[in-house]
Amino acid sequence: MSDALAGIQVYAFVGPAGTGKSHRATHVAKQNGIDFIIDDGLVISRGRILAGRSAKSEINRLRAIKRAIFEYPEHRDEVVRYLSKHPPEKIMILATSEGMIDKIISRLGLNSPVKIIEITDIATGEEIEAALKERREKKQHVVPVAKAQIQQNFAGKLVSQIKGLFKGREAERNTIVKPLFSFNGKVTIDSDAILTMCRNLLEFGEHVRKIREIDLDTDDDKIELNIELDLNLGTMSALSIAKTLQRRLRSGLSYFTGMEIRRVNIRVNEIFL
């Protein structure tokens, strides 16, 4: 942990998805003297996006979850650099559980929370139920960011200024968005498209002499691959080439599809010196 990050006091605002955390984030932050908020992959202050990319800009739920917990290295590094250069005294992280808080602070290199605020500490049971009903029926999400910022960073999404609950400037810092992954229907990726990605990712210099077979198994946003190859060794061993190919396939397919790569099995059929 850098010295700059070590001095930041972390607050956690926790509650299940759709219970109104983002709606109340600015108000809760103000009550606790907090200027910076981390919500769904964004660093926000006073209704402005300072760094990061929103999970609500992703095309499917799995990628949105990964974005929210800073699993993508470039995204994580951007946020860490910003916080290191502009460390706030306090920062509040929004999450659906304490486990999610632990993942975020681990990836960003932040301290454990000095205070955990539950949504039930802020909102009544009736208010939480109303928020959940709104999410189920309208599939809309709140971002604690001014509408002008949303229009710049969420092109093509449905947006509107939120009304009610809080008045004045706090109300102006909340905007309703409808993420792509919340629309009715299901995003699917054709198996042939995944196989084409695999073939492109397997082009590892001159080491892959021939791709004999790619057996693909997809189930519930998970991918399992069984691949048979002929290899040219060159200066690398067959084991080193196979491990490198496994890493390339895991990272590449995960990034492009948003799916979990459950297993990559590589069998070498022939070796050419």
Q: What is the pLDDT of residues 37-93, one digit of tens each?
A: 999 899 998 888 899 988 877 767 778 888 899 999 999 999 999 999 999 999 999
Q: What percent of the chain has pLDDT over 70?
A: 78
Q: What is the pLDDT of residues 170-202, one digit of tens each?
A: 544 566 565 655 544 445 667 888 888 899 898
Reference 51, options 162, 180, 153; nearest CA is 153
Going by C-beta distance under 8 Å and a sequence separation of 6 or more, which residues neighbour residue 111? 1, 5, 6, 8, 9, 10, 105
* C-alpha–C-alpha distance, residues 153 and 267, integer Å: 44
What number is the average pLDDT over the span 267-273? Answer: 91
Tell if the pTM clears 0.85, that is, is over it: no
Q: What is the pLDDT of residues 137-166, one digit of tens each?
A: 666 666 566 555 554 555 444 444 444 444
**Fold of domain 191-272:** Alpha-Beta Plaits (3.30.70)
| Res 184: pLDDT | 44
Q: Which of 144-148, 166-170, 268-272 has the lowest mean pLDDT?
A: 166-170
Give the start-to-end residue ranges of the domains of the chain.
Answer: 3-182, 191-272
| Res 132: pLDDT | 80
What number is the average pLDDT over the span 16-22? Answer: 85
What number is the average pLDDT over the span 107-133? Answer: 89
| Res 222: pLDDT | 75
Long-range contacts of 178-183 (CB under 8 A, 24+ apart): 178/138, 178/139, 178/140, 178/141, 179/56, 179/57, 179/58, 179/64, 179/141, 180/57, 180/58, 180/59, 181/58, 181/59, 181/60, 181/61, 181/63, 181/64, 182/139, 182/140, 182/141, 183/139
